[in-house]
Structure 1
Amino acid sequence: MLIAGFAAGMFQTNCYLVAEGPGSDAIIIDPGQDAAPNVREALAEYSLTPVAIFLTHGHLDHTWNAQELADEFSIPAYIHAADRPMLTDPGVGVGRALSQMIGDTVFREPEKVIEFVDGEDVEIAGIRWGVAHAPGHSPGSVLLTPDLPDDPETGESVSVCFSGDVLFNGSIGRTDLPGGNHQQLLDSIAATLMGRDDHQVILPGHGPQTTIGAERTGNPFLVDLPDAQKKGRFGL
């Protein structure tokens, strides 16, 4: 399995490419501002063919280059219905103050948009992806969990979740933007993440990777969760 990532743009948003390996089909996750050049370089470096773009949510720092890349490669962009309006009007997701950074830039949807559905499995690029709706940071935030093969060297299972801005290393997503709700975000984290294995790797929308176990025991924003939820007894 190939997972390549880099931070791009003024917000240093993590963009990822996921594929079965070099020379295969690939998913592009969260191509934000200024991500397109690095995406093209990574596609060429690993001889990848992009087949879809996955958006963990609709905030502009995660979607800025989605339309450009989707239409360039004639591939669909996936996003939850609740955040889809942000593709054409990103200002609704960032508020009046942050909308100034958009200026006169005009945004439009990619030619093909497919809406994520909570609880569905999306099979694409030879990988089955689990989709879990996790609102709170934005109304349409989703967690994306690929079904990965076991490690060929150790035989151990490999588990990864792309968390967008739901959960970070030592933090959680902000909830002061339009559509954000702090308690709803905590409820989403408890319901969709705390029941997962401690060893699951979290690849967030910003900052370094972490694990469920590390966040369960050390994330200061999760201290108010009931012990049963932090210990993983509040399952999927």
Structure 2
Amino acid sequence: MLVLAFPAQAFGTNCYVVAPAAGEQALVVDPGIGVVDQLREVLAEHRLKPAAVLLTHGHLDHVFSVTPVCTTGDDADLAAYIHADDRYRLQDPAASLDPQLVAMFEQQFGAAWTWREPPVVEQVRDHQHLDLAGLGVDVLHAPGHTEGSVMFTLPGAPDGVPVEASSTVLAGDVLFAGSIGRTDLPGGDHDAMMRSLREVVLPLPDDALILPGHGPATTMVRERAANPYLTGL
């Protein structure tokens, strides 16, 4: 399995490209702010053709570029996959943002805020299995950061990873190396996050490779031993 990652231009949001191998179809995960040009270069370098976009949740820094990725050039009308409980966020991801933050985006990107939903949106549910781009992807609903936060899991590890891993977990903002996603934003729920950590995250196998929405990759055995939000559960 080929997994490529690079940060967006704001908030350090990780955008991932996942494919069976170079020259194949690929999944784009969490295309954030200002990623379109770099994503195009990554796809061209590895001769990949996008087949779908996976969204771990509906916050602006994870979905900012979803519509251009889904509708540009030969990739027109790709489906964007998001949990049903975060589907409403695609109507206007900036609706819950402070106006000053929206103004910052406009200043940085040189245009007034505009938004258009991707034309094809597929709503996913907990424990759903997806067969996309020649890959098997399982959905784990883990609310707390947002109502519809999910983790996407795939069997096996990416090529070239120097650890043995039985699975790869695209964790979004549920779990980070040494931390978790914040719960004080609109739609966040601390109690729901604690339940998700206890009932969804902790049961992951020790050798699961965790690819978070921000920051470096980690492993479940490392987080189980050292992440302060897990050690007390």
TM-score, L = length of structure 1: 0.88
Counterpart residue number, 1:108: 116
2:8 equivalent to 1:5: no
Q: Percent identity?
A: 44
Mapping for residues 34-73 of structure 1, pairs under 5 Å: 34-72=34-72, 73=75
In 2: Cα distance, 1:97 partner to 1:180 partner: 21
- More off after superposition, 209-218 vs 156-165: 156-165
Asked whether 1:209 is paired with 2:221, we answer no
Instruction: Note if 1:140 corresponds to 2:148.
Output: yes
Displacement after TM superposition at 1:93 (Å) = 4.4
Q: Which moved more, 1:105-114 or 1:39-48?
A: 105-114
* Alpha-carbon displacement from aligned partner over 1:43-98 (angstroms, at most 9, x marks no partner): 00000010000000000000000001101112111111111222221134445664
Query: Per-residue deviation at 1:158?
Result: 3.1
d(CA) in 2 for partners of 1:42, 1:185: 34
The CA distance in 2 between the partners of 1:151 and 1:66, in whole Å, is 26
Counterpart-to-counterpart distance in 1, 2:92 and 2:157: 39
Per-residue CA deviation, residues 153-175 of structure 1 (Å, 9 max, x unaligned), is xxx66311000000000000011
Q: Is the 8 A contact 1:58 1:93 kept in 2?
A: no
1:81 aligns with 2:112: no
1:16 maps to 16
One-letter code aligned to 2:33: Q
| Equivalent residue in structure 1 for 2:192, among 184, 198, 209 | 184
Q: 1:94 to 1:221 in 2, by over 3 A?
A: farther
Runs of 4 or more off by more than 6 Å in structure 1?
149-152
Taking the aligned partners of 1:88 and 1:127, their CA distance within structure 2 comes to 29
Residues 122/3 of structure 1: CA separation in 2 closer, same or farther (3 Å cut): same
What are structure 2's unaligned runs of at least 5 residues?
A: 107-111
Please provide the CA RMSD for this pair: 2.1
Amino acid paired to 1:145? T
Alpha-carbon deviation of 1:102?
5.0
Q: 1:130 aligns with which of 122, 128, 138?
A: 138
Aligned to 1:230: none
> What is the CA-CA distance between 1:107 and the residue it aligns to?
1.0
Residue 179 (structure 2) pairs with residue 171 (structure 1): yes
Distance in 2 separating the partners of 1:220 and 1:7: 25
- Counterparts of 1:126 and 1:44 in 2: how far apart (Å)? 19
